[in-house]
Chain A
Amino acid sequence: QQQVKQSPQSLIVQKGGIPIINCAYENTAFDYFPWYQQFPGKGPALLIAIRPDVSEKKEGRFTISFNKSAKQFSLHIMDSQPGDSATYFCAASKSVNQAGTALIFGKGTTLSVSS
């Protein structure tokens, strides 16, 4: 079963716009919620991550908003640029060294920023 649901599947915005990607999770045992960025032909790379006891985290133009009661979190990209065009994956992780699958990924959102 899919434990992390991501939407939308694809997103097109103009340069300077603020794309928002949403994720929802089911398992309350998750304790970190990272976002990964993947450019065409490359492997995913960690972009930013948040703990569930924090409601917002900013790193440069990237912001994660977290709603623990709703079990939802989202990625906002301020002043988006064509270089932000990539596929973005949300994920959820269980505690370090806990047995079983460590990182559960959403299905990804392909973002295209037009100039």
Chain B
Amino acid sequence: NAGVTQTPKFQVLKTGQSMTLQCAQDMNHNSMYWYRQDPGMGLRLIYYSASEGTTDKGEVPNGYNVSRLNKREFSLRLESAAPSQTSVYFCASSVVQGSYEQYFGPGTRLTVT
């Protein structure tokens, strides 16, 4: 039981490049989330998926797109990376949307130069 896994762990992009962050969970959870963590800003929700087939914007969705590929996988795409998107990205999951108990992955550290 791996919990929530994320790939890659580290990534460096040049401004304008695109990439997809992958996330998978093996806990049969219905809901999945993408957060970004910046120093002094806490965790801010980018997008979430309450259940398979649905996605919704969070607090900071601009510049990102998501895909809920199936119940296990939820990917985050940066179409044209900007330096402001330099951050640590966390994927999380919960049994149902709204649960206070979320399980986080180990994070992806992204640097955009």
Q: Which A residues have a C-beta under 8 Å from some C-beta of B?
A: 6, 9, 32-34, 41-46, 49, 89, 91, 93-99, 101-103, 105-108
Given A44-B90, A105-B42, are A97 and B100 neighbors across the interface (CB < 8 Å)? no
B58 to chain A, nearest CB (A): 6
Q: Cα distance A89–B101 when bound, in Å?
A: 13
- By the criterion of a CB under 8 Å from any partner CB, how many residues of chain B are at the interface? 29
Contact with A along B37-55 (1 / 0, CB 8 A): 0001111110010100000
Given A43-B105, A45-B104, are A96 and B99 neighbors across the interface (CB < 8 Å)? yes
Given A43-B104, A43-B105, A44-B104, are A102 and B42 neighbors across the interface (CB < 8 Å)? no
Contact A96 B96 (CB under 8 A): yes
A69 to chain B, nearest CB (A): 22
Given A101-B59, A107-B40, are A93 and B98 neighbors across the interface (CB < 8 Å)? yes
